[in-house]
Amino acid sequence: MMAAELPPSTMPEEPEMRPRTTRRVARLLGVALALGGLVATTACTGDEGDKAAQKPTEAETPTGPDAASASPSPSPSPSAVPTSVPPAAEAGGICKSITFSEVKTYLGLTFQVAAASGKEGGVRTCVLQPLDESLPDLTFVATPLDGEVSEDDYEKDFVPDKADDQNGLGRAAYKRVVAPSGANGPVAEVGWLGEETAYTLTLTLAQATGTTGANTYLPKLAGLGPKLIAG
């Protein structure tokens, strides 16, 4: 007696995948705005996996040449990864004065995505990260000052404890390295006093870098800092 013919399996429609660059920029915007966010990606499979899990009866077990036709179809190839990313200036805000190539020239690090927050007249932030990693992380912050701020006022209000003086940067400047904390590695930071703005440039590194390695970035950050200010 012939077995009843089973209806052909149907593959569910594969959901559209967000480009990797878009996901990273969306996450960076959350960092710049001090908001947390997670992007979840869901994978889809067809009905063939369920069929394979079912134990076939003796009559249904494929044998001979027909066995090859019963093999499951190969999985579809993953979505292509974008080969280019938009420039940092497209993030707007204070990122407009930043280029990935200039940052790499000074720091020797590759950043591929940027996110900006804040408006003119308020605190403005630009965050840079690699495309596939959360570290290193470069954060540039510009804080407008109300009225004339002296070097003494800057040291009292802006310079962290145990920071060292940084020469040749703004009207007054500091540098420091912060020990690793949690999942983050050491932090190298420079800050300086401009004419009407206080700036900080902070580089958070991977834990493998170590504090000794972080110290080597301080003169590099001091050289990069003035280049990030729009003329």
Matching residue, tokens 């950043």:
111
pLDDT at position 70 is: 47
Residue 59's pLDDT band (cuts 50, 70, 90): very low
pLDDT at 162 > cutoff 90: yes
Residue range 209-227, pLDDT digits in tens:
999 999 999 999 999 999 9
Residue 148's pLDDT band (cuts 50, 70, 90): confident
pLDDT at 35 > cutoff 50: no
Residue range 181-206, pLDDT digits in tens:
999 999 999 999 999 999 999 999 99
pLDDT at 177 > cutoff 70: yes
Three-state SS string across the chain, please? Answer: CCCCCCCCCCCCCCCCCCCHHHHHHHHHHHHHCCCCCCCCCCCCCCCHHHHHHCCCCCCCCCCCCHHHHCCCCCCCCCCCCCCCCCCHHHHCHHHHHCCHHHHHHHHCCCCCEEEEECCCCCCEEEEEECCCCCCCEEEEEEEECCCCCCHHHHHHHCCCCCCEECCCCCCCEEEEEECCECCECCEEEEEEECCCEEEEEEEECCHHHHHHHHHCCHHHHHHHHHHHCCC
pLDDT at position 29 is: 57
| Rounded-to-integer distance, Cα 17 and Cα 166, Å | 47
pLDDT at position 185 is: 97
List the domains of the chain with CATH numbers. Answer: 20-69 (no CATH), 88-228 (3.40.1000)
